[in-house]
Structure 1
Amino acid sequence: MAIFTVIGLGCFGQTIALELTKLGHDVIGIDTVQRNIEQVADRITHAVIADATDEKVLDELNVKKSAAAIVAIGEDIEASILCVLNLKNLNIAQVWVKAKTKSHHTILSHLGVEKILHPEEDMGIRIAQTLSYPMVSRYMALDSGHFIVKVLIHEKLHGVNLQGLMQKYAENIQILLVQRDTQIFYQISDDFTLAKDDILIVEGLQHNLQKLSSSFQ
C-alpha cells in the first residue's frame, strides 16, 4: 500500500483518487472547491480544501511522503505549473500532470514531468479506434508503432482455423493467447479453431493489425 496525492478533484481527479482507494492505497485529495471535496470526503483517506499553489501548504499536508502526485487541475494552467514546481521542490518521487494545451505540455516537459496526461485526447483516439475497429475491445500502444490488441471473436469466425486466418491476413502478427471461458491457450496448435466469444490477444505493427481487422468485419 502506498500514499498518493491527487490535486484537483474534478471528474478526472476524482476518478483517479477513487480508483487508487479501491486498490487499497491511501489518497490525499486536494482542491479549492468545497463541493468537489464533499463528493469524495467519505470515500478517500484525506480530502482537504487547500491551495496547492502554496508550497508551505503542501508541506504541512505531508504530501512529500507520497509515492506519486497527480496534478489534475483543469483550466488554470498557471496553478498547474505552480503545483508542479512545488511538488518538485518537495522531492516527490513521481509527478503526473494533466495538460490542457500544447504550450502547457511543452512547459511541463521542460519542468521534467515524468508523465503528461491528455485524457480528452486519449479518449477521442479510443473512441475513433472503437468506431473504426468495433471487434477490438481494448488496445495498448507499445513503442515503434506496435500495439497489443484484444479481439472478441464474433459468430462469423466460429469454427475458423486460427492459424489459417493468421497466414491469410496477418503477416508478422504474434498470437499471445486465446481465452475461452476460464481456459487460456498460450500454445496454439495448427488445428486450433476459434469459437464464438473467444478472446484473442495479438501483437503487431498497426498496418498489419489493420489488415487483420478486415477479416473480422
Structure 2
Amino acid sequence: MALFAVIGLGSFGATVATQLIELKHEVIGIDLNKKYVENISDQLTHAVIADATDEHVLDELDVKRCEAVVVAIGEDIEASILCVLHLKNMGVKKIWVKAKSKAHHMILTHLNVDKIIHPEEDMGVRVAQSLSYPMVSRYMALEDDHYIVKVEIHADHHGMPLRKLMNHVPEIKTLLLKRGSRIDDNPAPDMLLQEGDILVIEGLLEPLRRLSKYFKRL
C-alpha cells in the first residue's frame, strides 16, 4: 500500500483517485471546489478543500510523503504550473501532470515532470485501437514499437489449435493463456483454444496488425 495525492478532483482526477483506492492505496484528494471534494470525500482516505497553488497548504498536508502526486487541475494552466513548481521545490518524489494544451505540455516538459498525461488524447487512441483491432481488449505500449496485447478468444476460434492461430504471425510471442481462473505461462502449441480464453501476446505493431486482419476475416 502506498500514499498518493491527487490535486484536482474533476472527472479525470476523481477517476484516478478512486481507482487508486480500489487498488488498496491511500489517497489524499485536494481541490478548491467544495462540490468536487464533497462528491468524493467518503471514498478517499483524506479529502481537502484547499488551494494547491499555495505552497504552505501543500506543506501542511505533507504531500512530500506521497509516493507520487497527480496534478489533475483542468482549465487553469497557470494554477497547474504553479502547483508543479511548488511540488518540485518541496522535493516530491514523482509528479504526474494532466496537460491541457500543447503549450501546457511544452512548459511541463521544461519543468521535468515525471509524466505528462493527455486524458482525452489517450482515450482517443484507445478507442481508435479498439475500433481498428476488435480482437484486442487491452494493450500496453512498450519501447521501440512493441506492444503487450490482451486478446479474447471468440466462438470463431473455438477448437482451433494455438499453433494454427499463431502460425500466421510467427514473430509474435505468446506470454500466457488464461482459462477461467487457471493461468498457463507456457501453453502447448497443440492446445485447443476455447471461447472465452484470454491470450496475452507480445510483438511489434506490424505483426499485430496482420493478426488483427486474420481475426477480421473469420
Structure-2 separation of matches of 1:123 and 1:47? 27
Aligned to 1:183: 182
Structure-1 separation of matches of 2:49 and 2:185? 50
TM-score by length of structure 2 reads: 0.94
State the AA in 2 paired with 1:31.
D
Aligned to 2:103: 103
Aligned to 1:112: 112
Secondary structure of 1:156's aligned partner: helix
State the AA in 2 paired with 1:178.
L
Matched, 1:203 2:202: yes
Deviation of 1:79 after TM superposition, in Å, equals 0.5
Structure-1 separation of matches of 2:20 and 2:133? 30
Structure-2 separation of matches of 1:178 and 1:25? 29
Q: Determine if contact 2:51/2:57 at 8 Å carries over to the other structure.
A: yes
Aligned to 1:23: 23
State the AA in 2 paired with 1:173.
I
State the AA in 1 paired with 2:182.
Q
Matched, 1:12 2:12: yes
Deviation of 1:132 after TM superposition, in Å, equals 1.1
**Alpha-carbon deviations, 1:66-85, whole Å to 9, x = none?**
22111000111111000000
Q: 1:191 to 1:23 in 2, by over 3 A?
A: closer
Structure-2 separation of matches of 1:23 and 1:198? 25
Deviation above 6 Å: which 4+ runs of structure 1? none
Deviation of 1:25 after TM superposition, in Å, equals 2.6
Matched, 1:88 2:97: no
Where do 5+ consecutive residues of structure 2 fail to align? Answer: none
Q: 1:158 to 1:72 in 2, by over 3 A?
A: same
Q: 1:2 to 1:191 in 2, by over 3 A?
A: closer
Aligned to 1:161: 161
State the AA in 2 paired with 1:20.
L
Structure-1 separation of matches of 2:212 and 2:186? 22
**Alpha-carbon deviations, 1:34-69, whole Å to 9, x = none?**
100111122212211111111112112222222211
Structure-2 separation of matches of 1:66 and 1:186? 35
State the AA in 2 paired with 1:171.
P
Give the length in aligned residue pairs.
216
Aligned to 2:148: 148
